C-alpha cells in the first residue's frame, strides 16, 4: 500500500513538474515573441528616423514635379544618403532572427491550404517581379528596387496579419521572398527569403 502511495506521489509530482515546465515554456515563448515584436517596432522607428534625416540632407524637389527622371534622381539621392548612414546594413537588421519565424508563420498561415490558395495565387501571380520583370530585382539590403519592376500585390489577409508599418515602409514580395521596401527612397531595407 505504501509503495503504491509513493509511486502515485512520484507520478503526481512528475506530472505536476511536466505541466509546470510546459506552462513555463509557453509563457517564455510568448514573452520572447512579445519582446521580438517590440524590438521589431523599435528597429522600424529607428530606421524611419534615419530615413527622415536622409531626406532632410537632400535638396527637396517641388511638390508638382512629375518628370520621372527628376523623381528617380531625387529617390537615388535619398537612397545614397541612407546607405551612407547604414553602410554595414545586412539581412536581419530589421527582420531579426527572432522576428523572421514569426513573419514566416504569419505568411504561411495565410497562404496554406484551400483558404490560403487565393492569397498565394495573388502573391505569386501577376505583378510579382520574379515572374514578369524585365529588370531583375536584386534581393539585397540597401539595393535599389528597379523603377521598371512591378510591385507585387499584397493580399489583404496577409497584410492585415503582418505587423503594421509606417507610411515610409511597405511589405512586398519578390517570388517567395518578403521584402521591406522604403517607399520614399525606393530602397530594399531588409529581406526574408523563402517566407513560404
In angstroms, the CA 196 to CA 192 distance is: 10
Phi, psi of 178 (to 5 degrees): -90, 130
Q: What is the DSSP string of 2-24?
A: HHHHHHHHHHHHHHHHHHHHHHH
Cβ-based burial of 174 (10 A; exposed 0-12, middle 13-18, buried ≥19) = buried
Spatial contact of 168 and 162, defined as CB atoms under 8 Å apart: no
pLDDT tens-digit map of 19-78: 334 333 343 457 777 888 899 999 999 999 999 999 999 999 988 999 989 999 999 999
DSSP strands (E only) in 58-176? 169-174
* Torsion from C-alpha of 76, 128, 155, 142, nearest 10 degrees: -30
Cα 41 → chain centroid: 11
For residue 192, the cross-strand partners are 178
* Among 42, 32, 20, CA closest to 166: 42
Give the SS3 label for residue 44.
Answer: helix
pLDDT tens-digit map of 129-158: 886 667 789 999 999 999 889 999 999 999
* Residue 167: pLDDT over 50: yes
Q: What is the mean pLDDT of residues 14-19?
A: 41
* Among 195, 176, 191, CA closest to 141: 191
* Residue 15: pLDDT over 80: no
Amino acid at each position: 500500500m505504501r509503495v503504491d502511495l509513493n509511486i502515485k506521489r512520484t507520478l503526481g509530482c512528475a506530472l505536476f513538474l511536466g505541466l509546470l515546465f510546459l506552462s513555463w515554456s509557453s509563457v517564455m515563448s510568448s514573452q520572447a515573441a512579445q519582446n521580438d515584436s517590440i524590438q521589431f517596432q523599435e528597429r522600424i522607428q529607428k530606421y524611419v528616423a534615419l530615413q527622415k534625416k536622409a531626406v532632410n540632407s537632400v535638396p527637396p524637389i517641388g511638390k508638382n514635379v512629375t518628370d520621372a527622371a527628376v523623381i528617380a534622381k531625387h529617390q537615388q539621392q535619398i537612397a545614397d544618403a541612407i546607405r551612407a548612414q547604414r553602410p554595414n546594413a545586412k539581412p536581419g537588421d530589421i527582420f531579426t532572427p527572432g522576428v523572421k519565424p514569426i513573419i514566416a508563420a504569419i505568411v504561411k498561415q495565410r497562404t496554406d491550404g484551400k483558404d490560403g490558395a487565393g492569397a498565394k495565387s495573388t502573391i505569386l501571380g501577376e505583378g510579382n517581379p520574379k515572374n514578369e520583370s524585365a529588370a531583375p530585382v536584386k534581393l539585397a539590403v540597401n539595393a535599389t528596387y528597379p523603377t521598371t519592376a512591378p510591385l507585387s500585390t499584397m493580399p489583404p489577409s496577409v497584410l492585415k496579419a503582418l505587423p503594421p508599418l509606417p507610411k515610409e515602409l511597405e511589405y512586398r514580395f519578390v517570388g517567395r521572398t518578403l521584402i521591406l521596401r522604403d517607399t520614399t527612397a525606393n530602397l530594399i531595407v531588409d529581406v526574408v527569403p523563402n517566407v513560404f
